[in-house]
Amino acid sequence: VVQRDLAQARADFPILRTRVHGKPLAYLDNAATTQKPDAVIDAEADFYRNANANVHRGVHALSQRATDAYEGARHKVRSFINAGADAEIIFVRGTTDAINLVAQGFSLPRLVAGDEIIVSALEHHSNIVPWQMACRRAGAVLRVVPIDDAGEFDLDAYAALLNGRTRLVAVTHLSNALGTINPVRRIIDLAHAHGVPVLLDGAQAVSHLPVDVRALDCDFYAFSAHKLYGPTGIGVLYGKTAHLQAMTPCQGGGDMIRSVSFGTTEYNELPYRLEAGTPHIAGVVGLGAALDYVTSIGIERIGAHERELLHSATRQVTGIPGLRIVGTAAEKAGILSFTLAGIHPHDIGTMLDDSGIAIRAGHHCAMPLMQRLGVDGTARASFALYNTHDDVDRLVAAIRRVCATLRS
């Protein structure tokens, strides 16, 4: 892959030239979804223009071209997260879909009354609700690892929660609401000492950190393409081969079978067994292009750049009267969550929008976390590879204007 210069990368994202309310756009809502480079937009359009056909079935040339593009992208995903085999990469709709697949297809068939599943207080709703649903159906119990006031995972409390009834641990690699990077190696080692598999929610981590699923030794890893400069509607479930083989498919249909009769159906091999129906082929092609793009810049360089922006933003907002940074973990990636005393986060978001600055305001799909931290919601600026020091300076100036306007 040819190396690309990070400083030039902003020009690769056409939407960043859009003006909002007559102002240049400072897009700081990347934890919700990232913008797409021309390379991704063009790859999807090129697929539809030159290679569109269904995969895995036609004998004709276009179908072969489409299948090569689809399976080629699976191979790129394997390399990107260093999985052991292409068949360990299952294409799904996104992180939510991946977690639900594990909850329904892996955990639920094995859960009995009194079993336990562990999540943490940092989780996004999509890493809470699927486990709640499975536990409710099986009569199992959801256990929650507490955090401290900085938003750090409590390893001691976690170690004490693991026991002979624990069937799975599901935790986020990186908190979408606070930016906390969890000590996932320790979390996994402790679970494995009890023979318990671990699912990591990698929705946020993949765009900020190098991820090596074999070095982590995680059992499942879930992420969405759209937070990694790729298309919406497509994501990945990585699973160790033995776990994926042990899973019950949740969806039946074309492609996931080897043979069908009205009496019985024999399922296909991995990964197809867990990919029923025509997949989002163009989305997979776009994801492959996004991975090529990110690799051409280098995920370490992207992470270092975002950390620099985070440090600059943190330094500049510290000392603004009434501003509280929510989430002050020692290990943190490109997310700045904050509140302003006496000002609703939505008012902050609306006023920043008037200045052309896009942030997220609210509970960030993490209501239990907000409750733990004693806030209804926060304002959140989240950084991506194309953000600049100018974006940060505009953010800080706009926050100061919010204070001056709404407190006067």
Q: Which residues bind ligand PMP (CB under 6 A)?
A: 31, 94-96, 124, 126-127, 172, 176, 201, 203-204, 224, 365
User: Do 288 and 280 contact (CB within 8 A), yes or no?
Assistant: no
- Report, in Å, the least distance between residue 170 CB and ligand PMP: 10
* Closest among 201, 185, 157, 117 to 372, alpha carbons compared: 157
Tell me the closest approach of the beta carbon of residue 31 to ligand PMP, in angstroms. 6
Q: Which is nearer to ligand PMP, 182 or 268 (CB)?
A: 182
| Residue among 124 and 305 whose Cβ is closer to ligand PMP | 124
Report in angstroms how near the CB of residue 371 gets to ligand PMP at its nearest.
17
CB of 177 to ligand PMP, least distance (A): 8
Rounded (10°) angle between helices 389-407 and 299-317 = 30
DSSP class of residue 29 equals: B
**Amino acid identity for residue 90 in this structure:** I
Bond prior to 146 in cis (omega within 30° of 0): no
Round to whole Å and give the CA distance between 45 and 358: 27
Query: In the complex, what is the shortest distance from the CB of residue 40 to ligand PMP, in angstroms, rounded to a whole number?
Result: 16
Alpha-helix runs per DSSP H in 230-386 = 241-245, 281-297, 299-317, 345-354, 367-373
Comparison of 37 and 94: residue with beta carbon closer to ligand PMP:
94
Q: How many angstroms separate the CA atoms of 408 and 393, rounded?
A: 22
How far does Cα 355 stand from its chain's mean position?
Answer: 28
Q: Catalytic residue numbers?
A: 365
Nearer residue to ligand PMP within complex by CB, 204 or 268: 204
CB nearer to ligand PMP: give 201 or 275.
201
Residue corresponding to tokens 């609306």 = 350
- Cα separation, 394 vs 312, in Å, equals 12
